[in-house]
Structure 1
Amino acid sequence: MSSLKIYVHPLSQPARAVMLFCRANSIQHEEKIVDLVKGAQHNEEYAKTINPLKKVPVIEHDGFFLKESVAILRYLARTFPVPDNWFPKDSVSQAKVDEYLEWQHLNVRTFGTLYFAEKYIVPRTTKQPPNEKRAANFLKHYIAVLNQVETIWLKDRPFLAGQDISIADLLAAAEMEQTVLGGYDVKENHPKLQEYLERVRGGLQPHYDDVHSMLNKIASKMKATQ
């Protein structure tokens, strides 16, 4: 029997995508939580034996280590018996998934992460308030790329690569959910994206809510204190 371990943390957007993929497809695996809050990714042993880049996610499959979420999701979709919609074998359909994956790095992920880091990570690591001018600039760009998701990637189709959910949607949803911790809730500001995220969530229950439970608890506590 093959052995799959995934090194993740539920506050990491790409790690949540990998967690969701494994759970939704009933892939037998062991989740190894790397406590990002306590800086476990910077431990010498983790860097030496798991990931010298000191990040999550990472998978270990029968002694084979693989880092970077896009590569991991493609590998899992090819290696395990999962429905073809996740990463289709057909070249054209697969290219549509890859098209979004290539685009998202410098767009949704970049600006969403920069905004989240400035509003959430920076104050907690430096004990200083965020630079609101920088945060506002990141948010402006983030909103612009979210508008592109609505008008280009989701134009006339329910999911990013077509009529069915794919690994592209896992990564997109994880990124869009994250910025609530920075005070920007995509679902409250973009009705079309709210509908889209509900489609993704609805097709992945109960795993979607389970994987996002820590993020949602933190967001609820933050909202209660505002």
Structure 2
Amino acid sequence: MTTVTTRTVTYPADGLTMIGHLALPGGADRRPAVLIGPEGTGLNDFQRRRADALAELGYVALAFDINGGRWFTDPEEMLAHALPLLDDPDRMRDIGHAALDVVRAEPRTDPDRIAAIGYGTGGAIALELGRDGVDLQAIGTVNALTTGRPGEAARIRCPVWAGVGSEDPIMPAEQRDAFAAEMQAAGVDWRLVVYGGALHAFHHPPVDQAVRSGVGHHPEHAKRAWRDIVGLLAECMPVTASGEPPR
């Protein structure tokens, strides 16, 4: 296990001061990097720990912010902020590009090997970076089967993995079908994993806040989804002890 160092990074985006969490593996060499986007409630210790876990595997990892440091405890307040964002691909891209600029500016980052993963709104941002033609090595999303503007999925230049719960009322079968149709029509290398019996936000441990109906943690599927994301990164953006891609 590599020694991990972390620091808080602040940067402007969407008219806010974002407060991200950057995790670095031990050493001084360049490493592949991963952006980690949070759900609409905001960045919390769950995504920070995910960044730390990826740094332990040898990646530079930035858990980026979408709410200017805020964590919404009221679901209605969160939706009032998140839904307009989800309806505005350009805003999502701006937030994603700002985080991308931060990770590219980190001297430890290999700028030719960057991936984006995310949960909920953060996953939608990762997808919009792909639809904007950003040269990513992989995109992974959980609970984010958002579709984009017509034809723009053809700009996605990397494999896309998506995970969703079978009982997710926010991402129902119709939304799964629309996402699959968009990816297939665009010729994207895509895969979709449906976790049986799981609700929306099944990946996230319970927190002390009010939750919406249809939202719930599924501990086993949460572990499986994380293993699937790590597997995606290992396939598309492997890292060795030296940081160099395997020959």
Please, what TM-score do these two structures have when normalized by structure 2?
A: 0.28
Larger strand fraction of residues? 2
Greater C-alpha Rg: 1
Larger helix fraction of residues? 1
Higher relative contact order (CA 8 A, sep 6+): 1
Please, what TM-score do these two structures have when normalized by structure 1?
A: 0.30
